[in-house]
Amino acid sequence: MTTNSMDKTDDNIEVLSEDVLRMSTDEVVGRTRLLDNEIKIMRSEVLRISHELSAQKDKIKENTEKIKVNKTLPYLVSNVIELLDIDPEELGEEDGANVDLDSQRKGKSAVIKTSTRQTYFLPVIGLVDAEKLKPGDLVGVNKDSYLILETLPAEYDSRVKAMEVDERPTEQYNDIGGLDKQIQELIEAVVLPMTHKEKFVNLGIQPPKGVLLYGPPGTGKTLMARACAAQTKSTFLKLAGPQLVQMFIGDGAKLVRDAFALAKEKAPAIIFIDELDAIGTKRFDSEKAGDREVQRTMLELLNQLDGFSSNTDIKVIAATNRVDILDPALLRSGRLDRKIEFPHPNEEARARIMQIHSRRMNVDKEVNYDELSRCTDDFNGAQCKAVCVEAGMIALRRSASQVTHEDFMDAILEVLSEDVLRMSTDEVVGRTRLLDNEIKIMRSEVLRISHELSAQKDKIKENTEKIKVNKTLPYLVSNVIELLDIDPEELGEEDGANVDLDSQRKGKSAVIKTSTRQTYFLPVIGLVDAEKLKPGDLVGVNKDSYLILETLPAEYDSRVKAMEVDERPTEQYNDIGGLDKQIQELIEAVVLPMTHKEKFVNLGIQPPKGVLLYGPPGTGKTLMARACAAQTKSTFLKLAGPQLVQMFIGDGAKLVRDAFALAKEKAPAIIFIDELDAIGTKRFDSEKAGDREVQRTMLELLNQLDGFSSNTDIKVIAATNRVDILDPALLRSGRLDRKIEFPHPNEEARARIMQIHSRRMNVDKEVNYDELSRCTDDFNGAQCKAVCVEAGMIALRRSASQVTHEDFMDAILEVQAKKKANLNYYA
């Protein structure tokens, strides 16, 4: 035994180096210190490498951000002319192609023709599959870097890039937890009017046009809107409020018009405007051009909301966290008149949300969702979802086959960052200082990247404005003379045609004669179907780029595109309640001068040329103007103030001239200018071109008002909510010299309004309108109409054949609750 023990001891000793065994204690201590120093050096090297790695990651993030910007608006839509397998360096500057040799590489390259009529020779990098690319394809190219980013479908619509468009949303109501009341309200306000129109027709009620969803972030507003689109099998068009805040005057309003135009094309459709408070804040006096432009965009949204019927297959859903700062004009009846609150989920709702988001996970049967809900007080829906995702990740890390209750509890701690709560005071202070330093470094880096991205975005926006304007007025209306399948280069300058050889390509081309009596030979690019084009067709051509934008109907009048024209308005005075005095004043100022001119001639008096209707939103100004047009059998031409704010100098004034010229052709006519305050504010000294252009537009309106006699068959009616900021020159005699106030209706008027809006409904005889009127103090006309609509909806919910007095009383409480709700600030 002793011998064996000695052998084992010897074996252990042999493991150590003989040099070490021979060292003295001092030598071992010295050697140890040297090793410690080496370890410290290695640690510092590891730290240095870590810093380098962090710096490289920052560079990667920065480059990734630039690539992301490449794929953001705007695109330069281009045609692929030819694909080549040659080295760009061999080609040099041949054929007039612009070649950046430093940016090229050997491999597949493409010759492309952009919508700005330029030819480029570019490499096909990894963002696009070079093997699938073929001549004739449409591609998206970034204007600054000229990278080919992606292929575009043949039917590509450039407006789609400005918004999220989903033609087949898949979200369902069972994907949403804890919002049963909100689901029911949206079904009544959005789904039923689109899927069961006949129920509303039978009861004679008008469904809401739009719905406002308000509440803190993460409570399911967007998800609910998408579920409504899926339920109605509608196209889902999502616009973010900040996207409507554009750099150039008129761009935001144009995006709003494009969104509604696209919705009409893709009907049934739901337009979802997220972060509405970005453009929908209460109007105020401001000398800043940016503030006024945002207000003009909101006025255009109001104009579009007024421009379609509630019985169409289009509904508008808006969402905001700040309902308290929205302009009241957005919320009146006939616009976003149904408001639905999305609060933080309660305990029961949080449990349901976690059940929904974990239903596809392999969850242990012992998971107690009620306990989890109690542990997630103040969590919103998004945070409850985050708990489920984190629980799954925790189970994945420990290679488990099921997600347990403990995983969920750990996930809650993770979401709550409980590691910070467990630290000692000194640790928390130390960690806080480190985080503060990191935040300072990150802020400086973010600031630097922001400056670079801002400069790049400015270049992109500047370069793309001409394309954005391509489809805005004015059009150059032209006749197609001949269609040719020849190369424009072969034609040269024959037949007096102006040919831009750099801008042409082989394929279908057209000889056109413009309304300015000039002949042009232009390519027919993807914006127009070349196969359907034939000689004699009218086409719209942009004046600057000379692109053929679209075909026009034979009876097309380019001026009509800028305004709403109704040659046979149907509204009557008996559609208006509580405004007898205003009706009488308008009859005297507008109707009698147009229908009984001889009375004014006999008395030798000059009737008014124009009338200004002023008052708060929802008091019947637009309805009254249309009723006047119907009474005088006049054409009704409606111009919205924001539409008169155009990008290029002189365009707004030209629209005013076109409106008056069209009115003379279609006389008798009434020109109705809504939201006059968009262009008619008091003049002031300004060095900003946008301000001066708006003032020029107003001066042209004054000129047109002075340019026709008050005895003609043309009258001007304008409307505003802000008469206090109008320029006095508009209101002097001979212009808009008759001012008519539209106040909130009194008790008698409210009773009359509710009788009018319920006369087509199957109403019980016991309904007491006088009592209803007394219960609706401070309601405006639009809110009285909303009471009738809501009463019909209540009757519809209980499948009743008649609308009772109790339905009206419940409707008043519903509208009053929304009117007087404590609209808190939602962070």
Q: Which helix (H) or strand (E) holds 670?
A: strand 669-674
**Paired tokens of 205:** 């009620």
Q: Which pLDDT score, from 0 to 100, does residue 2 have?
A: 47
Contact 430, 389 (CB under 8 A): no
Going by pLDDT thresholds of 50, 70 and 90, the confidence category of residue 560 is: low
**In this predicted model, which residue has the larger pLDDT, 554 or 674?**
674
Going by pLDDT thresholds of 50, 70 and 90, the confidence category of residue 539 is: confident
**In this predicted model, which residue has the larger pLDDT, 722 or 9?**
722
Question: Which residues, other chains included, contact 309 with Cβ-Cβ below 8 Å and sequence gap of 6+?
Answer: none
Contact 109, 121 (CB under 8 A): yes
Instruction: Give the DSSP letter of residue 28.
Output: H
Write the DSSP assignment of 440-467 as a string of letters: HHHHHHHHHHHHHHHHHHHHHHHHHHHH
Given a cut of 50, whether residue 149 has pLDDT beyond it is yes
**Paired tokens of 22:** 């021979």
Kindly tell me the number of DSSP H helices and DSSP E strands found in the chain.
29, 22
Mean per-residue pLDDT, 154-177 = 70
**CB neighbour class for 823 (10 Å; exposed up to 12, middle 13-18, buried from 19):** middle
Q: Which pLDDT score, from 0 to 100, does residue 410 have?
A: 84
- How far apart CA 629 and CA 671 sit, in angstroms, is 9
**Token match 């249309």: residue?**
626
**Paired tokens of 18:** 């003989």
**Paired tokens of 795:** 């009757």
Going by pLDDT thresholds of 50, 70 and 90, the confidence category of residue 613 is: very high
| Closest by CA position to 542, among listed 470, 604, 478 | 470
**Side-chain-facing half-sphere of 423: CA atoms under 13 Å:** 12
Neighbour tally for 744: CB within 10 Å: 17
747-824 and 560-741 share a CATH fold: no
Instruction: State how far Cα 718 lies from the chain centre.
Output: 28
Architecture (CATH level 2) of domain 471-486+506-555:
Beta Barrel (2.40)
Angle at 536 between CA 530 and CA 538, to 5 degrees: 75
Residue type, 587: I
Contact 719, 625 (CB under 8 A): yes
Question: Which residues, other chains included, contact 766 with Cβ-Cβ below 8 Å and sequence gap of 6+?
Answer: 804, 805
**Paired tokens of 255:** 């995006």
- How far apart CA 519 and CA 23 sit, in angstroms, is 103
Secondary structure, 3-state, 543-570 = CCCCCEEEEECCCCCHHHHHCEEECCCC
Given a cut of 80, whether residue 68 has pLDDT beyond it is no
- How far apart CA 207 and CA 190 sit, in angstroms, is 8
Question: Which residues, other chains included, contact 281 with Cβ-Cβ below 8 Å and sequence gap of 6+?
Answer: 294, 298, 325, 326, 327
Going by pLDDT thresholds of 50, 70 and 90, the confidence category of residue 128 is: confident
- How far apart CA 424 and CA 195 sit, in angstroms, is 60
**In this predicted model, which residue has the larger pLDDT, 156 or 362?**
362
Angle at 629 between CA 628 and CA 634, to 5 degrees: 145
| Closest by CA position to 521, among listed 490, 550, 477, 544 | 490
Contact 745, 774 (CB under 8 A): no
* Coil vs helix vs strand at 142: strand
Contact 670, 632 (CB under 8 A): yes
Going by pLDDT thresholds of 50, 70 and 90, the confidence category of residue 471 is: very low
- How far apart CA 511 and CA 390 sit, in angstroms, is 64
Residue type, 743: P
**CB neighbour class for 317 (10 Å; exposed up to 12, middle 13-18, buried from 19):** buried
* Coil vs helix vs strand at 435: helix
**In this predicted model, which residue has the larger pLDDT, 532 or 465?**
532
Going by pLDDT thresholds of 50, 70 and 90, the confidence category of residue 817 is: confident
Contact 273, 252 (CB under 8 A): no
Mean per-residue pLDDT, 445-460 = 72
| Closest by CA position to 244, among listed 236, 257, 256 | 256
| 386 phi and psi angles, rounded to 5 deg | -60, -35
Mean per-residue pLDDT, 776-782 = 84
**In this predicted model, which residue has the larger pLDDT, 402 or 503?**
402
- In terms of average pLDDT, the best of 76-90, 463-477, 653-667 is 653-667
**In this predicted model, which residue has the larger pLDDT, 404 or 606?**
404
Given a cut of 60, whether residue 431 has pLDDT beyond it is no
Of the chain, the percentage scoring pLDDT greater than 90 comes to: 4
Please tell me the class of the 747-824 domain: mainly alpha
Domain boundaries, the chain: 31-69, 73-83+106-121+139-152, 159-341, 347-415, 471-486+506-555, 560-741, 747-824
Instruction: Give the DSSP letter of residue 761.
Output: S
Given a cut of 90, whether residue 717 has pLDDT beyond it is yes
Write the DSSP assignment of 571-618 as a string of letters: --GGG--S-HHHHHHHIIIIIHHHH-HHHHHHHT-PPPSEEEEE-STT
Beta 109-114 vs 119-123: how paired, if at all?
antiparallel
Mean per-residue pLDDT, 553-562 = 61
| 659 phi and psi angles, rounded to 5 deg | -60, -45
Residue type, 28: V
**In this predicted model, which residue has the larger pLDDT, 281 or 821?**
281
Mean per-residue pLDDT, 199-223 = 84
Going by pLDDT thresholds of 50, 70 and 90, the confidence category of residue 360 is: confident
Instruction: Work out the mean pLDDT of the chain and round it to a whole number.
Output: 77
Determine whether domain 159-341 maps to CATH 3.40.50.300: yes
Fold type of domain 347-415: Helicase, Ruva Protein; domain 3 (1.10.8)
**Paired tokens of 335:** 């616009």
**pLDDT tens-digit map of 313-329:** 888 999 988 888 888 88
Q: Is the dihedral of CA 516, 519, 521, 523 positive or negative?
A: positive
**Paired tokens of 3:** 């011998």
Question: Which residues, other chains included, contact 178 with Cβ-Cβ below 8 Å and sequence gap of 6+?
Answer: 345, 346, 348, 349, 350, 352, 353, 381
Q: Which pLDDT score, from 0 to 100, does residue 684 have?
A: 62
**In this predicted model, which residue has the larger pLDDT, 284 or 25?**
25
204, β-bridge pairs:
none
| Closest by CA position to 340, among listed 187, 470, 447 | 187
Q: Which pLDDT score, from 0 to 100, does residue 822 have?
A: 44
Q: Which CATH number fits domain 560-741: 3.40.50.300, 3.30.390.30, 3.40.50.2300, 2.40.30.10?
A: 3.40.50.300
**Token match 């047009």: residue?**
629
110, β-bridge pairs:
83, 122
**pLDDT tens-digit map of 789-814:** 889 888 888 888 889 999 999 998 88
**Paired tokens of 267:** 């009907």
Contact 149, 129 (CB under 8 A): no
Contact 730, 704 (CB under 8 A): no
**pLDDT tens-digit map of 572-594:** 888 888 888 889 988 888 898 88
**Paired tokens of 755:** 């009788």
| Closest by CA position to 235, among listed 213, 199, 260, 210 | 260
Mean per-residue pLDDT, 152-156 = 64
